[in-house]
Amino acid sequence: MVKLSALYITLFSLGVFAKAHSASLGLIEFPQKPIAPALGLADLTGKMHKLEDYKGNIVLVHFWATWCPPCRRELKALQEAFEKLRPKGVVILAINVGEGREHVRRFLSNRSLTFPVLTDPSAESRLRWQVTAMPTTYVVNQDGVIFFGAIGERNWAKNLLIQQILSIQDAPL
């Protein structure tokens, strides 16, 4: 319960302070490093992905929706970042919230994304992860601990963000 409360406080703080940051800024570090909530969703082909399946990897858990203009703009930069980060063992799980698989598949049909796009039509993961705005991204370390977060649009392909993400590879808690 204490860990969950710390997550809620941190997420609230993230939401308050994120409004003051522009899309060009980096990630916000979580001071208390909460354990990531459970996550298990199907991708566009129906394959299940669980966060625990990626233990040992840094994972960007990215919440987005097709109706969200900043979310749509970020997709290209997320793909560029993935191409830089993938050789270093970093995974991106892009979670579409509140929309059906077919709708998301049609929306992405003219985009070449090579990272898993998961769908959560019921938006249950948004509640579990306390997502208050779109897009929201968490950077989870190899042990399932949240190190960084971002609310709002970011240029994920920028070296500043790539370096911040990679900085947690061997970071102590």
Domain ranges (residues) in the chain: 2-166
- Does residue 163 have a pLDDT over 80? yes
User: Over 80: is that where the pLDDT of 108 sits?
Assistant: yes
User: Distance between the two ends of the chain, CA-based, in angstroms?
Assistant: 19
Reported for 69-72, long-range contacts at CB under 8 A and 24+ positions apart, including other chains, are 70/23, 70/134, 70/135, 70/152, 70/153, 71/134, 71/135, 71/153
CB distance 27 to 96 below 8 Å: no
Is residue 25 very low, low, confident or very high in pLDDT (cuts 50, 70, 90)?
confident
pLDDT at 5 over 90: no
Q: Which CATH number fits domain 2-166: 3.30.300.20, 3.40.718.10, 3.40.30.10, 3.40.50.1100?
A: 3.40.30.10
Specify the pTM.
Answer: 0.86
Q: What is the crossing angle of helices 69-85 and 159-166, to 10°? A: 60
pLDDT above 90: residue 153: yes
Q: Is a pLDDT exceeding 90 seen at residue 15?
A: no
pLDDT exceeds cutoff 80 at 14:
no
Q: Could you give the CA distance from residue 101 to residue 130 in angstroms, rounded to a whole number?
A: 22
Q: Which of 139, 133, 146, 154 is nearest to 10 (CA)?
A: 146
